[in-house]
């Protein structure tokens, strides 16, 4: 079977998954206590803005995920794209591993933020990064050393050229894991545009670097570009977090009225 059949299978699987998730979601929603419907009134503009900005942020992330392999393919060829796809496995794995924690952060911190416990939310962010970093300090060296064996076992000896790139992407994945709260915090505080800005910076750094470094070193060069853009992304969020802490402190000093979500 070829590419066309594979894509058809993906579409069918996605359709089945969507139906199953929808059924489960509707059933879960039915368990919630019913309440009378009421108009959104003055909340409509805010909700529309939130939805638009959230969708735009998702679009920026999707664009980066699509453009990086595309640019690499143009400058280095399809073989390097294949190796790069393999090298992205640590990123996919770490993102999946942090997903449950991020979901819990989203629900708990949104509740705390709306109740005015903003200092508690920021403390939770710090605690998450501390424990996630500790996990990475232990796990990254193990995966780094085991990478040649892992690539050979999972993908075969023919793809050993992806080892160096996978090791570099592993470092980028570890950074994203340690700051996994960046996915939930903008939603929690009602500022999805923060994702647009930070992921926009990440994309603006990644794409040109992939073109330059990918030409020279193929998949390994693209992995270096990903790591560099991840460092920029993390640095941008450190700046955002510092400003957010200052805003919260100022708001608490004035009785909470000065803070604007």
Rg (CA), the chain: 21
Question: Which residue has 């393919």 as its token pair?
Answer: 73
260 found inside a domain:
no
pLDDT at 42: 78
237 found inside a domain:
yes
Distance CA 186, CA 35 (A): 28
238, with CB counted inside 10 A (0-12, 13-18, 19+), is exposed
pLDDT at 45: 83
How much is the pTM?
0.85
4 found inside a domain:
no
- Residue span of the structural domain in which 121 resides: 45-253
Distance CA 101, CA 229 (A): 24
pLDDT at 49: 85
Compute mean pLDDT per 10 residues along the chain, 261 residues long, and list them: 86 96 91 79 81 85 90 95 96 92 88 90 93 96 97 94 96 96 90 92 96 96 97 96 91 63 50
Among residues 197, 189, 229, 194, which one has the least CA distance to residue 213? 229
Asked if 190 contacts 121 with a C-beta cutoff of 8 angstroms, the reply is no
Q: In a 3-state reduction of DSSP, which class is residue 184?
A: coil
Number of H helices, E strands in the chain: 8, 0
Query: Which residues, in sequence order, are CB contacts of 98 under 8 Å at separation 6+?
Result: 132, 177, 180
162 found inside a domain:
yes
Asked if 218 contacts 76 with a C-beta cutoff of 8 angstroms, the reply is yes
171 found inside a domain:
yes
Total domains present in the chain: 1
19 found inside a domain:
no
37 found inside a domain:
no
pLDDT at 40: 74
pLDDT at 76: 95
69 found inside a domain:
yes
User: What is the total residue count of the chain?
Assistant: 261
Helix (H) or strand (E) holding 66: helix 44-76
């Amino acid at each position: 079977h070829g590419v066309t059949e594979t894509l058809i299978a993906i579409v069918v699987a996605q359709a089945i998954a969507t139906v199953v998730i929808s059924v489960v979601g509707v059933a879960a929603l039915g368990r919630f206590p019913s309440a009378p419907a009421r108009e959104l009134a003055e909340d409509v503009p805010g909700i529309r803005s939130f939805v638009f900005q959230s969708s735009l942020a998702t679009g920026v992330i999707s664009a980066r995920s699509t453009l990086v392999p595309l640019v690499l393919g143009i400058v280095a060829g399809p073989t390097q794209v294949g190796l790069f796809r393999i090298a992205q496995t640590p990123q996919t794995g770490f993102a999946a591993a942090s997903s449950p924690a991020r979901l819990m952060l989203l629900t708990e911190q949104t509740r705390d933020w709306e109740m005015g416990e903003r200092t508690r939310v920021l403390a939770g962010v710090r605690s998450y990064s501390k424990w996630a970093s500790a996990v990475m300090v232990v796990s990254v060296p193990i995966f780094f050393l085991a990478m040649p064996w892992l690539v050979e076992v999972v993908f075969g000896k023919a793809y050993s050229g992806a080892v160096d790139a996978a090791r570099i992407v592993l470092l980028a994945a570890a950074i994203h894991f340690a700051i996994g709260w960046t996915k939930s915090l903008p939603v929690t505080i009602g500022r999805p545009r923060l994702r647009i800005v930070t992921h926009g910076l990440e994309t603006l750094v990644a794409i040109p670097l992939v073109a330059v470094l990918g030409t020279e070193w193929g998949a390994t060069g693209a992995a270096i570009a990903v790591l560099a853009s991840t460092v920029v992304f993390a640095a941008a969020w450190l700046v955002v977090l510092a400003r957010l802490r200052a805003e919260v402190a100022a708001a608490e000093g004035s009785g909470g009225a000065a803070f604007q979500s």
